[in-house]
Homo-oligomer: A and B are copies of this chain.
Amino acid sequence: MEKYLKILKEKGIKVTAQRLEILRFLDTHHTHPSADEIYIELKKRSPALSKTTVYNTIQSLKEHGLLNTVNVDSHESRFDSVINPHHHLLCSACGNVIDIEIECPYTRKMLAGGHRIDEVHGYFKGVCKDCLGGE
């Protein structure tokens, strides 16, 4: 937990028990959870937790670059504490979102097109390796 305390302090985010818990959950669960999933899970340990706090904390972490929103699902947002650029696969069989670590060669081309690119997002829809294997 010392690790997350340090992260918050370095970013100048006021430390609270809820923020530590949410940050820890995101760092140890790279399953791209929704706000509700975070809430449900942490509520088990901290029954007083409110969904408002989950949303507030998500926004705070996002503003400080500790969190990204993953737009693979049009009906709820999912969150990802892995902030290095990578892509995602939404599996139509199990519904999970899997990280895809591949190079993205687009940035340079885009600059040539006259636009300025700040973020590159990619996502795929298909069936993940595990589901294809019949597990």
B98 pairs with A118, CB closer than 8 A? no
A134 at the A/B interface (Cβ < 8 Å)? no
Q: Which of A80-135 contact B (CB under 8 A)?
A: 87, 89, 91-92, 98, 100, 102, 105-106, 109-110, 113-129, 132
A102: chain B residues within 8 A (beta carbon):
106, 109-110, 113
A129 touches B114 (CB 8 A): yes
Q: How close is A61's CB to chain B, nearest CB, in angstroms?
A: 15
Copies in the complex: 2
Contact between chains at B124 and A100 (CB < 8 Å): no
What CA separation (Å) do A5 and B114 show in the bound complex? 38
In addition to A71-B73, A121-B125, 20 A-B residue pairs with Cβ atoms within 8 Å of each other are A71-B74, A71-B123, A74-B77, A100-B113, A102-B106, A105-B105, A106-B124, A113-B129, A114-B129, A115-B128, A115-B129, A116-B126, A116-B132, A117-B126, A118-B125, A118-B126, A118-B127, A119-B124, A119-B126, A121-B122
Binding site for B on A (CB under 8 A): 69, 71-74, 77, 87, 89, 91-92, 98, 100, 102, 105-106, 109-110, 113-129, 132
